[in-house]
Amino acid sequence: MFISIIIPTINRADLLEQTINTIIKNNKQFTAFEIIVVDNGSTDNTQMVCKKFQQEYSFFTYYYDNTPGLLTGRHLGASKAKGNILAFIDDDILVSDTWLTTIHQTMATRNDIDFLTGPNLPFYHSYPPAWLQYFWTNNTNGKHCGWLSLLDFGNEVKEISPNYVWGLNFIIRKNTFETLGGFHPDNIAKQFQHFQGDGETGLTMKAIAKNIKALYHPAAMVYHQVPTSRMNFEYFDNRAFYQGVCNSFTDIRLKNGFGININESEQQKTSFYKKVKNYTKHKIKKLILTNKNTTPQEVIELFDRFNKKLQEGYQFHQNAYHTNPLVQKWTLQENYFDYKLPQ
């Protein structure tokens, strides 16, 4: 059992260095792993940081590929990985001291499990605004906040839907990753937004259709750094627009026979935004009501605002798809192991 930790990054050298340091510091006695960093075109000192680690640690490898999008780091990293377990993480997380050993022990002993994740807890850089509490939602497993990729399903090991295995803490067997066709396009720069896809959602939806199991383990815990710049309305506007593009991508592929049309309850789990998509104010009130208190009018208005942005993103991608042959071809590819954007 060998684990390949894959970290795509761009222009976040300071955060990346913290991420790598937590892996190394918390796993000094564990050797069955490698760290692969794929630089997606950084112009800061990311290369300098990575060269330092590469000189000091034999298990560390650095690659540079400026092809736009998160898909570059994920798929290039996977193609270079030596491990039979792939652990995809973001460049702004801090891993717990039980994260890596839990991955090894769980995937070695639970042959029935192909996906693994754990708590994705917040590490706020400043005190969060009061309205943010309403953007968490409860489910039968626990609670999550898709807007900030946060998830807390408690202190018990449990089977979960693969759609709750999110990209910042995404562990999968390599053969399963390859069989399911890998990730879809994700986090593409604004000027290439029409080539945006639905990231890990397409992969996990196919896993559900094939009854492939996922496990939540409380010891596979990471902390997601949440800077002050992500706790404002403008950031949420962009996230909602981006999710609208993702939803359009998913819908188009389903209508054209790509992907698996799973039931609505499973689709809801792919993203918190799915629950916002068609809500009226009355339904929004029901969604975000907590402890039988009255939901502030400000929060209701925020949901309306972000829902409009989501619809804008959806229509943006629909228009691009129906008017641009390159977008049509890209959206309907069988898989994206060849992650180069169409010319």
Between the alpha carbon of residue 232 and those of residues 177, 288, 340, the distances in Å are 35, 18, 33
Q: Is the dihedral of CA 307, 312, 313, 319 positive or negative?
A: positive
Sequence-ordered list of residues with C-beta below 8 angstroms from that of 269, at least 6 positions apart, any chain: 139, 161, 163, 164
Task: Name which of 207, 167, 147 is nearest 71 in CA terms.
Answer: 167
Specify the number of domains making up the chain: 1
Rounded CA separation 261/6 (Å):
29
What is the domain-level CATH number for residue 38? Answer: 3.90.550.10
Mean pLDDT across the chain, nearest whole number?
A: 90
- Average pLDDT of span 232-245: 96
Q: Is residue 341 part of a domain?
A: no
Q: With bands split at pLDDT 50, 70 and 90, how would you rate the model's confidence at 295? A: confident
Q: Is residue 269 part of a domain?
A: yes
pLDDT in tens, 279-292: 333 334 444 444 34
Rounded CA separation 135/148 (Å):
9
Share of the chain above pLDDT 90, in %: 83
- Average pLDDT of span 46-61: 97
pLDDT in tens, 132-156: 999 999 999 999 999 999 999 999 9
Q: Is residue 338 part of a domain?
A: no
Q: Is residue 342 part of a domain?
A: no
Q: Is residue 111 part of a domain?
A: yes
18, burial (CB in 10 Å: exposed 0-12, middle 13-18, buried 19+): middle
Q: Is residue 146 part of a domain?
A: yes
Q: Is residue 28 part of a domain?
A: yes
Tell me which residue range forms the domain holding 39.
Answer: 3-331
Q: Is residue 27 part of a domain?
A: yes
The confidence score (pLDDT) of residue 261 equals 52
pLDDT in tens, 197-238: 999 999 999 999 999 999 999 999 999 999 999 999 999 999
